[in-house]
């Protein structure tokens, strides 16, 4: 064997080892550094894209709103994804603006590796299986063809109600930055209600591993009991106590009475009895979505009691519609708050068994400066369980240094053999190194 052939053999060996080191470096050490992710809440009343970031060098990556904890980017569309069942333009109308705005928020070099998750909730769960499938497929294809993000088919899907409940619970613990004692979560959306809390019960249980600590969680969802869907159940009554006095349409004449509205709600049996035997003993919940919007509308403190909600609702229901329009500047949802207050107070007292004069639920839209929703909890689940991309590292200097070290070792080894060869010790056995 000539020296020339030896050089070729050693070069090939170095190249193979170089590739092996790269392969194992990525698989063992993974994709380290800052990541970005987009979690889209495809809800029954609209679509919201949340932008998050985290550092995968952390043992338990701390997901946070991006670009700033107190100013997390949330891009909103008032069009619900479920509208795509009847409107073929709904999907592009929703996502065109979201794609455009989010693309300007996340650093450009990260866009191709930023995963976008589309999680649909009760709005789609209420559609037929056929409609659900068509909307999910059409959404996936539109995003694959029109967005710069990493779109995986498995990440465009409909969440179960239990998942939504659990992700809401994770969000509360994460934003409070607490492990003990935990807080329960209640999410009253437009089409469903989700409830989750730590428990010792034996049904509707979920084992959660959050930042290395295990929890047993009760989580359930009540489809059709969100405020908008529940309200549809009382629209059959012409003279309707759940609308302010003086509110008149072709089918409804508001008579404005909290007591009679509450009786109507109870008569159609839409309040679940004893959501769980343990809710009466739990004293710390966070209420999201409609709980927060209604509480804020009435100007109540975050930890308002049921009595305080009832008092505000009684005043509102009995007020004249003309007066209310002037006071609230024709709020487009104004007519709904007599029902919202009546329904929520009844739900908390009859469904949960909460005391009227004590505060058990903090109604919040923000928690420690970040928006409170199930979205950040869902992203935490994805971050802690997702497989790592094996071929992309933002900072690759350590890999270069490792490969350079290996290459130099083989060069030194080759030079030693060459020197020995000049002194008469090198034989054709060198080829056996390969």
What would the pLDDT profile of 296-354 be if each residue is shown by its tens digit?
999 999 999 999 999 999 999 999 999 999 999 878 999 999 999 999 999 999 888 88
How far is residue 57 CA from its own chain's centroid?
Answer: 22
What is this structure's pTM? 0.80
Q: 297-303: list long-range contacts, CB under 8 Å, 24+ apart.
A: 297/337, 297/340, 298/337, 298/341, 300/363, 302/362, 302/363, 302/364, 303/359, 303/361, 303/362, 303/363
CB 6 within 8 A of CB 411: no
pLDDT, residue 241, reads 98
Mean pLDDT in the chain? 85
Instruction: List pLDDT tens digits, range 215-262.
Output: 899 899 999 999 999 999 999 999 999 999 999 999 999 999 999 999
CA 14 vs CA 117, 398, 409, 434: distances in Å: 41, 18, 10, 11
**pLDDT tens for each residue of 352-366:** 888 899 888 999 999
Tell me, yes or no, if 164 is annotated catalytic: yes
At 228, list the tokens: 């908008």
3-state secondary structure of 303: coil
Cα(89)–Cα(331) distance, integer angstroms:
28
pLDDT of residue 58: 87
Model pLDDT, residue 416 = 62
Q: Is the previous residue joined to 67 through a cis bond, with omega within 30 degrees of 0?
A: yes
SS3 letters across 343-398: HHHHHHHHHCCCCCCCCCEEECCEECCEECCCHHHHHHHHHHHCCCCCCCCCCCHH
Residues contacting residue 270 through CB under 8 Å, at least 6 positions apart? 225, 230, 233
Domains of the chain: 34-158 (3.30.420.40), 161-389 (3.30.420.150)
Is there a contact between 15 and 23 (Cβ–Cβ < 8 Å)? no
Q: Would you place residue 412 in the very low, low, confident or very high pLDDT band (cuts 50, 70, 90)?
A: low
Length of the chain: 434
- 208 has a pLDDT exceeding 60: yes
Binding residues for ATP: 190-194
Structural contact between residues 42 and 119, judged by C-beta atoms closer than 8 angstroms: yes
Extract the runs of DSSP E, i.e. beta strands, from 189-338: 192-198, 205-210, 213-223, 239-240, 253-254, 285-289
Confidence of residue 274 (pLDDT cuts 50, 70, 90): low
CA 393 to chain centre: 25
What 3-state DSSP class applies to 240? strand
Looking at residue 125, what is its pLDDT? 97
Give the active site residue among 100, 109, 134, 164: 164
Confidence band (pLDDT; 50, 70, 90) for 270?
confident
Which one of 190-204, 286-300, 408-422 scores highest in mean pLDDT? 286-300
Query: What's the pLDDT score for residue 419?
Result: 57
Strands (E), 30-172: 34-42, 47-55, 64-65, 74-77, 115-120, 156-158
Q: Cβ(222)–Cβ(272) under 8 Å?
A: yes
Q: Which of 5-19, 30-44, 139-153, 295-309 has the lowest mean pLDDT?
A: 5-19
φ, ψ for residue 162, nearest 5 deg:
-65, -40
Residue 87: its pLDDT value, please? 97
Residue 10 has a pLDDT of 60
Is the Cβ–Cβ distance between 75 and 106 less than 8 Å?
A: no
pLDDT value at residue 417:
61
Q: What is the pLDDT of residues 363-404, one digit of tens each?
A: 999 999 899 999 999 999 999 843 223 333 344 444 555 555
pLDDT band at 271, cuts 50/70/90? Answer: confident
């Amino acid at each position: 064997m000539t020296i020339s052939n030896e050089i070729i053999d050693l070069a090939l060996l170095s190249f193979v080892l170089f590739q092996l080191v790269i392969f194992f470096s990525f698989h063992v050490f993974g994709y380290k550094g800052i990541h970005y992710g987009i979690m889209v809440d495809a809800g029954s009343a609209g679509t919201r894209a949340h932008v998050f970031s985290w550092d995968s060098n952390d043992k338990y990556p701390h997901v946070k709103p991006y670009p700033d904890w107190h100013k997390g980017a949330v891009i909103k569309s008032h069009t619900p994804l479920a509208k795509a069942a009847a409107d073929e333009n709904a999907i592009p109308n929703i996502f065109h603006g979201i794609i455009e705005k989010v693309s300007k928020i996340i650093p450009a070099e990260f866009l191709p590796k930023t995963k976008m998750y589309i999680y649909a909730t009760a709005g789609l769960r209420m559609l037929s299986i056929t409609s659900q499938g068509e909307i999910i497929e059409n959404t996936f294809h539109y995003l694959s063809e029109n967005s710069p993000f990493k779109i995986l088919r498995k990440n465009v899907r409909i969440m179960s109600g239990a998942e939504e409940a659990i992700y809401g619970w994770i969000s509360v613990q994460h934003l409070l930055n607490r492990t003990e004692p935990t807080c329960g979560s209640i999410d009253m959306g437009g089409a469903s209600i989700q409830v989750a809390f730590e428990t010792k019960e034996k049904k509707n249980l979920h084992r959660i591993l959050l930042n290395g600590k295990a929890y047993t969680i009760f989580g359930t969802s009540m489809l059709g009991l969100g405020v908008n869907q529940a309200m549809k159940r009382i629209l059959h009554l012409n003279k309707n106590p759940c609308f302010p006095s003086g509110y008149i349409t072709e089918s409804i004449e508001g008579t404005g009475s909290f007591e009679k509205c509450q009786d109507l709600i109870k008569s159609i049996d839409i309040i679940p009895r004893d959501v769980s035997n343990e809710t009466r003993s739990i004293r710390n919940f966070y209420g999201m979505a409609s709980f927060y919007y209604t509480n804020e509308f009435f100007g109540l403190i975050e930890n308002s009691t049921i009595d305080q909600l009832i008092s505000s609702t009684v005043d509102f229901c009995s007020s004249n519609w003309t007066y209310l329009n002037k006071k609230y500047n024709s709020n487009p949802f104004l007519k709904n708050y007599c029902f919202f207050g009546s329904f929520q107070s009844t739900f908390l007292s009859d469904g949960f068994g909460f005391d009227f004069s004590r505060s058990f639920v903090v109604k919040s839209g923000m928690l420690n400066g970040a928006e409170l929703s199930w979205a950040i909890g869902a992203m935490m689940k994805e971050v802690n369980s997702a497989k790592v991309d094996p071929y992309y590292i933002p900072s690759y200097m350590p890999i270069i240094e490792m490969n350079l070290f290996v290459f130099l070792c083989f060069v030194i080894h080759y030079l030693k053999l060459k020197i020995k060869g000049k002194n008469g010790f090198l034989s054709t056995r060198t080829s056996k190194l390969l």
